[in-house]
Amino acid sequence: MLSGLRACCTALLAALLLTAASAPALAWGPEGHRIVGELAARQLRPATAAAVAALLAGEPEPTLAGVANDADLHKTDATGPLHYINLPPGRCDYQPARDCPDGRCVIAAIERAAAVVGDRRAASADRRQALKDLVHFVADLHQPLHAGRAEDRGGNRVPLRWQGAPHNLHQLWDGLLIRAIGTDATRLAASLARRRKPAASTLAGPPAAWARQSCALVASADFYPAAETFDEAAYRRRWQPVLETQLQRAGLRLAAQLELALGH
């Protein structure tokens, strides 16, 4: 009886570990989403900031950073596809009928949310939820692996070791690279806000253009580590500046979306 109980417990533990290993990672992780929300808030004109505050009144933390992770906290199987898009490897061209059937991808989710936020005839509750979604999905699209490859589930099936522990490529970009910077979300957002802004030409365009930009990063020859154990310092030197630029772009583009929706 004892051996049977031991076997049962072993099987249960194995199942739990398998579930944890195969569970999809959250885009950017909580830190990244807060950074994008904080950075966007720093760019808003006073009237737009007031409109945001009015929509978020009553939230536990009524700021863009405070609601930035709402969509992950309430993610379901039905809403999961709204957090990413898969584009053809090596091509990165977006075709809605092929890549976003029935509007179930992050590009369409951003467009819908922005439309509702800007619709003053819509119910306040609907606009509040759309604002939360917009903050989150804009950030999602700037995590390169959310415009990545379907065959490896955006890097979730690419195992690697980071600081001696087992992870995957998606987790590396979600939060491990951000945490390696060694500062909190508020301070990193403040640092990014002080930096020179990217050229306007690199920020322009609709969400489909942002997706192509993320997809192109994933297609870079050295984006995928060559082996499960790799030179972490060299990877950080190459890709941490890119990660910071993506966070900066996300914050600036989110602010621009909010100005269009609420700033008039």
For domain 27-262, say whether CATH 1.10.575.10 is its number.
yes
- Locate 72 and state its tokens: 């992950």
Rounded CA-CA distance 259/247 in Å is: 18
Q: Are 223 and 239 spatial neighbours (Cβ–Cβ below 8 Å)?
A: yes
Contacts with 176 (C-beta within 8 Å, 6 or more apart), sequence order: 162, 167
The residue ranges of every structural domain in the chain are 27-262
Q: What is the per-residue pLDDT for 150?
A: 94
Q: What is the pLDDT of residue 56?
A: 98
Stated pTM of the model: 0.89
The tens-digit pLDDT sequence of the chain (264 residues) is: 444 444 444 443 333 333 333 334 456 788 999 999 999 999 999 999 999 999 999 999 999 999 999 999 999 999 999 999 998 877 899 999 999 999 999 999 999 999 999 999 999 999 999 999 999 999 999 999 999 999 999 999 999 999 999 999 999 999 999 999 988 889 999 999 999 988 877 788 999 999 999 999 999 999 999 999 999 999 999 999 999 999 999 999 999 999 999 987
Return left, alpha or beta for 153; rule: phi > 0 is left, psi -120 to 50 is alpha, else beta. Answer: left
The rounded distance, in Å, linking the Cα atoms of 43 and 27 is: 23
Helix (H, G, I), strand (E, B) or coil at 167: strand
Q: CA 23 to CA 49: how far, in whole Å?
A: 36
Q: Quote the tokens at residue 5.
A: 């109980």
